[in-house]
Amino acid sequence: MIEHHILSLSGGKDSTALAFYIKDNMSEIFDRMELVFYDTGCDLEETYDYLNKIEVFLDKKITYVKPQDSFDKILLKTRMIPTVFKRWCTLELKIKPSNEFLKKKVEDEKIDRIKIYVGIRADEQYRKGVQLKSAFEKKYINPVYPFIDNGITKQDVEDILIKSGINYPDYYKWRKRNGCFFCPYQSPYDWVLLYENHPKLFYKAMEYEKIGDVGKKRVFSFNPNLTLKEILKNKDRIKEQEVNKKRKKKNIQKLFNLFIKEVQI
């Protein structure tokens, strides 16, 4: 049986730590493993910088898989931006290119089985992971979860990144996770942070919202409650609300800790 091993990198901490973990603990697999990044063309520059860094640290090239049509081309054709209610971006920019890439690899290289290594940790087993839906996926794809199998948690991931010397991607300094700069799951505060760190990308997203506005009564926006124009106008208030929210959360944690301490006494 001809097996092929693939680790899908996202440019985030977990999949990166998994690559280093496999190199250190499953070297025979790592030598034959292909690192793959499904490139939407819409990630932050920090993500692409981090991917370049990964190649240097691991001394292994990354395969970049791009969609047939770019986000801009699809948007101009459909005049519909992705929202939390219709997130077509993942299907068109990630899932379809992935399926096409895997099918071509099976056909060209006469592969019997592809093992896909996924960086879901032991402390987040509630996540679905790879869903095998099509007949092709059920026949050829075998998801593998080394972190779950070996009890690797968030703290372990951090230790791996620090020990390897690669550390976290720079976007973690201001963003919770990686992904497209216009991700509709961003909160208003996340959008404000995008504006402060990458104003050109923020204004580009504003132009995307205009493309979806064709004179109809309903105005489509990435955020379900506010347009980017409204977020920009109210950015100071949004930042203040976030500060108050964090302060309140911190005070509640203090009260909880005092309560636990009294109960233990």
Q: Which residue has the higher pLDDT, 245 or 259?
A: 245
What pLDDT shows up at residue 128?
79
Stated as kind and residue range, the H or E segment containing 253 is helix 235-264
**Structure confidence at residue 252 as a pLDDT band (50, 70, 90):** confident
> Taking Cα atoms as reference points, which of 138, 150, 147, 97 lies closest to residue 117?
147
pLDDT at 262 over 70: no
User: What DSSP line would sit under 162-215, residue for residue?
Assistant: HHHT----GGGGT-SS-SBTT-TT--HHHHHHHHHH-HHHHHHHHHHHHHT-SS
pLDDT digits (tens, 9 = 90+) for 194-220: 999 999 999 999 999 988 655 555 667
CATH 3.40.50.620 domain locations along the chain: 3-173
71-78 vs 199-211: helix crossing angle, rounded to 10: 30
Q: In b/e form, how buried is each residue of 29-50, taking b as 16+ CB within 10 angstroms?
A: bbeebebbbbbbebbbebbeeb
Residue 263 predicted with pLDDT over 60: yes
What average pLDDT does the segment 81-91 reach?
A: 91
For 165-199, how does the pLDDT look when each residue is reduced to its tens digit (9 = 90+)? 999 999 999 998 889 999 999 999 999 999 999 99
Partners of residue 156 on adjacent β-strands: none
- Residue 202 near residue 44, CB atoms below 8 Å: no
The tokens for 70 are 């770019």
Q: How far apart are CA 151 and CA 124, in angstroms?
A: 11
Question: Given pLDDT bands bounded at 50, 70 and 90, which one contains residue 257?
Answer: low
Q: What token pair was written down for 265?
A: 């006494």
3-state SS, 127-175, equals CCCCCCCCHHHHHHEEEECHHHHCCCCHHHHHHHHHHHCCCCCHHHHCC
Per-residue model confidence (pLDDT) at position 249: 75
For the record, the structure tokens of 42 come out as 């819409």
95 DSSP assignment? I
Pick 206 or 255 by higher pLDDT.
206
Burial (0-12, 13-18, 19+ Cβ within 10 Å), 237: exposed
pLDDT at 250: 72
Which superfamily does CATH assign the domain made up of 3-173 to?
A: HUPs (3.40.50.620)
At residue 21, does pLDDT exceed 80?
yes
pLDDT > 70: what percent of the chain? 92
Q: What is the pLDDT of residues 30-42, one digit of tens each?
A: 999 999 999 999 9
Binned at pLDDT 50, 70 and 90, residue 259 comes out as low
Give the pairing type, strands 113-117 and 141-144.
Answer: parallel
Overall average pLDDT of the 39-55 stretch: 97
Closest CA to 13 of 135, 154, 122, 114: 154
Render pLDDT for 99-154 as a digit per residue (tens, 0 to 9): 999 999 999 999 999 999 999 999 998 887 888 989 999 999 999 999 999 999 99
**Following CA atoms 176, 18, 43, 205 in sequence, which dihedral angle do they give, to the nearest 10 degrees?**
-30
Closest CA to 58 of 34, 29, 23: 23
Instruction: Return mean pLDDT, the chain.
Output: 91
